[in-house]
Amino acid sequence: MSKETSRRDFLGYSFAAVAAVGGVASLVGMKQAWDPLPSVLAAGFTTIDLASIGLEPGKPQVHTWRGKPIFVLEKTADMEKFDGDLVIGDKRYTIAIGLCTHLGCIPAWKKDMWKCACHGGEFNANGQQTFGPPPKPLVIPPFKVEGTVLTLGEDGAESKAMMAARA
Partner 1 sequence: MAKINESLFTAEGFDKRMNAKGFWRVMMTEYWIPKDINFLWAMGVVLATTFGILVISGIFLMMYYKPDTALAFDSVNYTIMQEVAYGWLFRHMHGVAASVIFLIIYIHMFTGIYYGSYKKGREMIWISGMLLFVTFSAAGFSGYMLPWGQMSYWAAAVITNLFAGGSLEAWGLVEWIRGGFAVNDATLTRFFMLHVFLLPLVIIKLIVVHFYTLRIPHVNNQESDDIDYDAEAEKYLAGNKKESKVIPFWPVFLSKDFAVLGLFLIFYFYLVFFNYNFAMDPVNFDPANPMVTPAHIYPEWYFLWSYETLRGPFFDMFGMKAGDIGLMIFGLAQIIFVVFPFLDKDPDILPAHKRPRFMIWFWIMIVDLLVLSVYGKLPPTGANAWVGFYATALFLLLWVSLPFITKADAKARGAL
| Site of interaction with partner 1 (CB under 8 A) | 31, 34-37, 40, 44, 62, 64, 66-69, 102-108, 116-120, 132-135
Nearer residue to partner 1 within complex by CB, 23 or 120: 120
Q: Tell whether the torsion through CA atoms of 83, 85, 86 and 90 is positive or negative.
A: negative
Give least dist CB 104 to partner 1, A: 4
Q: Residues 58-65: contacts with CB within 8 Å, 24+ apart?
A: 58/112, 59/109, 60/94, 60/109, 62/98, 62/106, 65/97, 65/141, 65/152, 65/153
* Phi, psi for residue 94 in degrees, rounded to 5: -110, 125
In the DSSP assignment, the letter for residue 56 is B
Nearer residue to partner 1 within complex by CB, 58 or 133: 133
Nearer residue to partner 1 within complex by CB, 33 or 77: 33
In the chain, how long is the greatest CA-to-CA distance? Answer: 90
Decide: helix, strand or coil at residue 41: helix
Give least dist CB 61 to partner 1, A: 11
Give least dist CB 82 to partner 1, A: 22
Nearer residue to partner 1 within complex by CB, 94 or 101: 101
Give least dist CB 121 to partner 1, A: 9
